[in-house]
Amino acid sequence: MKENTWTRWPSREALSREGRSRSRCLLAWTVRALVLGLLLWGAFADSPVGGWKSAAGAAGVLVAALLAWLFFRTTLQHRLWPSLASLALLQGVAVAAHTSGFRTAALVMWCGCAVSALERLPPAAALAAAGVALGSFGAVNNEEVLTSVVTGIGLTLAGYTLRLDAEARGSAQRLLVQERAARAAEAETAALAERARIAREIHDVLAHSLSAQLVHLEAARLLIERGGEREQVLERVVAAREMARGGLAETRHALSALRGELTPLEDFLNHLVGTADGAEITITGERRALPAEASQAVRRAAQEALTNVRKHAPGAKVRLCLDYRPHEVTLDVRDSGGSPGELSGTGAGYGLLGMRERAELLGGSLEAGPGEEGFVVTLKVPL
């Protein structure tokens, strides 16, 4: 339900001192000191110094200051009736001051009541309270009617201007709070995304390295069980050792990638193909630097595809094709096929699924399935 404009309070941010600059606060205190000085001057200028009258005038100033403070506190809490009561008592003090001969102090209090009401109360209550204060001011003012009317209009505009300024300041304060909350949420989201990226990198490096080692160690185990030759077993163990070394190098590489220190993608793929038997690579399109996430997706897909070839089609020839297109980069990995290896049943089968999830996070895709000869893995990553 939409709030009625005439009964809507100024926001608490507008009524509070929070968010005010030092110069604005200094100006506000200067105005308060000036008003208090005018009240004290009126209390002593309109009557001889000394006697009970001056004491009563000073006491009246203190009471007026207390009521003004109470009015500011209750309006800040959006309590309508206590606010109106404190404002009415303040105007009552003004009436008593005028009756007692403190004319200047009474006029200052009526003017202050009108401006403060227009600045801090809901419009309906503000107009009523300001009307009473300005009416009292005009009734006792000895100036000409036109002068009183002009003064009343000026005070009304002053109160309304202060209200607009306070509302603008309150809106700016709310926007600042929302912006800070948005920045905090953005920072938290970025931190979670970075943690997820680190987790993916560590998982991919370890999964590739450990699965490759498992291939060779499992082959060594089978050779030992079947009485294979010592040289064959040793060859498998040495290969597993080399994969462990490669895993350590990949771990260092992943850490460098997390720091933004990636080696060129072409160099990485050439090195990867050079360590795999029967593999070759073709690079087409205009070569250019890729975003870190896109580059890592291509690297991990190539590693996973070569590992699967070693497991499911040992000895098969592999062709990698990296194609730079205007709006995407494509990696195509095809093998010539072959008989399933003894280790085709090892592994959990999550490698390609992880690569597909990585590609989809970047808005791309990964397709894997039988080709004309063997198995085909195609990765597409938009740029």
Residue 330 resides in a domain: yes
Residue 351 resides in a domain: yes
303: nearest Cα among 355, 252, 345, 348: 355
Residue 61 resides in a domain: yes
State the pLDDT at residue 348.
Answer: 46
CB under 8 A, 24+ apart: contacts of 263-270 = 265/290, 265/295, 265/298, 265/299, 265/322, 266/322, 268/299, 269/298, 269/299, 269/302, 269/320, 269/322
State the pLDDT at residue 112.
Answer: 83
Asked whether residue 343 carries a pLDDT value surpassing 70, the answer given is no
Query: Which tokens in the block code for residue 155?
Result: 């005070």
pLDDT band, very low/low/confident/very high, at 365 (cuts 50, 70, 90): very high
Residue 54 resides in a domain: yes
CB 216 within 8 A of CB 243: yes
Domain boundary among 126, 142, 158: 142
Q: 376: how many CB neighbours lie within 10 A of its CB?
A: 17
Each residue of 169-213: pLDDT tens digit?
788 888 888 888 888 888 788 777 767 766 666 666 666 677 777
Asked whether residue 346 carries a pLDDT value surpassing 50, the answer given is no
Domain boundary among 94, 110, 142: 142
- Model confidence, pTM: 0.48
Alpha-carbon distances, residue 65 vs 32, 94, 313, 362 (angstroms): 10, 12, 92, 65
Each residue of 76-133: pLDDT tens digit?
888 889 999 998 998 888 888 888 777 777 878 888 888 888 888 898 888 888 888 8
119: nearest Cα among 67, 169, 85: 169
Helix (H, G, I), strand (E, B) or coil at 326: coil
CATH assignment at residue 285: 3.30.565.10
Each residue of 302-321: pLDDT tens digit?
888 888 888 788 888 899 99
* Overall domain count for the chain: 2
**H/E element, 13:** helix 12-15
Each residue of 3-53: pLDDT tens digit?
577 888 888 777 777 666 666 666 666 766 665 565 556 555 555 545 566
Each residue of 215-245: pLDDT tens digit?
778 888 888 888 777 888 888 888 788 777 7
Residues 6+ apart with CB under 8 A from 351: 207, 208, 211, 304, 307, 308
Burial (Cβ within 10 Å: 0-12, 13-18, ≥19) of residue 273: middle
Residue 15 resides in a domain: yes
Lowest mean pLDDT among 80-84, 292-296, 327-331: 292-296
DSSP letters spanning 74-126: HHHTT-HHHHHHHHHHHHHHHHHHHHTT-HHHHHHHHHHHHHHHHHHS-HHHH
Residue 155 resides in a domain: no
Domain with 349 in it = 264-383
Residue 312 resides in a domain: yes
Higher pLDDT, 71 or 205: 71
Q: 38: how many CB neighbours lie within 10 A of its CB?
A: 19
State the pLDDT at residue 350.
Answer: 55
Cα–Cα distance measured from residue 317 to residue 303, given in angstroms and rounded to the nearest whole number: 15
Domain boundary among 123, 142, 161: 142
Residue 200 resides in a domain: no
Place of tokens 């905090």: 184
Indicate the residue type of 216.
H
